[in-house]
A and B are shown apart, each in its own frame.
Chain A
Amino acid sequence: MDALIEKLKGQIIEQLNLVELKPEEINPDSPLFGEGLGLDSIDALELIVLLEKHYGIKIEDPKDGKTIFQSLRTMAEYIKSQGKG
């Protein structure tokens, strides 16, 4: 799980152009939206694309995104639960 979280940190920084952020500055349990990384709605769409592009996971119901994208850890757990990563 830790290796997947580290991999996700790099992918998120690249996909979302968070160039001023270093991987070690991302707490895997911090919220991705709002107070944590402060991502916005376009970033949410980019995360959906990231899952599909890198892990072949398609999120059919956007409502699921709220749970899956709570934090880096919940993202990693979801990827694992789909038998990917």
Chain B
Amino acid sequence: MNSITSYAHIKHNQVSVNGTIVFQSGATALTDFLMEVYKAIGLNYPKFHKMDAQCKLGVLCTEYALQQTGFLESHSLQQTAIVLSNAASSLETDRQHQQSIADKSNYFPSPAVFVYTLPNIIIGEIAIKHKITGENAFFVSEKPDAALLVNYTNALFAEQTQAAISGWVEVDGDAFEAFIFLAENTENINKNTNFKPLNQITVIELYNQTKWMH
């Protein structure tokens, strides 16, 4: 049986883990918010500061989902997959890169920005941080598509995959959101009442679980 064993959601300047808000901020800029979250979760990962905002968001949301789970220790990292999606691809960083090459008299494209002009680098950053080498895929869809994520993740479980980090990570202008869930083959794991079956209905339910503060 494949189950969702933990999830995290970042939206409206708040972080929610398994449906409970664990952090909120009054930051007015996304970069400030991400730095506050980085400090709040106690990360010490200098490479984080080199990432674009979307990767930072994906890495932080994954950290929160992983916290206190033992997920990475319970499965082979070669059999752990990462499946992500969003609507804007890498548009925010694409814009930054475009600005750096728009003026021919001030033409200084940044290699460090350019490497983030593909959305699947979010997967790369999560994989590098946790030494995950399993299957991966990044999908671009108009809105969070539970069926797409669940069907693809379940298809991977039908092969060699034993665990997966799946979800939605998006930054587009001032708007941002990340929703990450951890899916595991729980056949040989002691059943926990908090485990939910990996299906479309569950993902939609968990996505809508958090009561955001306004």
Contact = CB atoms under 8 A, between A and B. Distances in A.
Interface of A: 16-21, 38, 42-43, 45-46, 49, 52-53
Nearest to A41: B111
Interface residues of B, number: 9
Contacts of A17: 49-50, 112
A49 B50 contact: no
B42 to A, nearest CB: 13
A68 B111 CA distance: 19
B46 A46 contact: no
Interface of B: 46, 49-50, 108-112, 115
B112 A43 contact: yes
Nearest to B111: A45
A19 B49 contact: yes
28 contacts: A16-B50, A16-B112, A17-B49, A17-B50, A17-B112, A18-B46, A18-B49, A19-B49, A20-B46, A20-B49, A21-B46, A38-B46, A42-B50, A42-B111, A42-B112, A42-B115, A43-B112, A45-B111, A45-B112, A46-B110, A46-B111, A46-B112, A49-B108, A49-B109, A49-B110, A49-B111, A52-B108, A53-B108
A43 B115 CA distance: 11
A21 B111 CA distance: 21
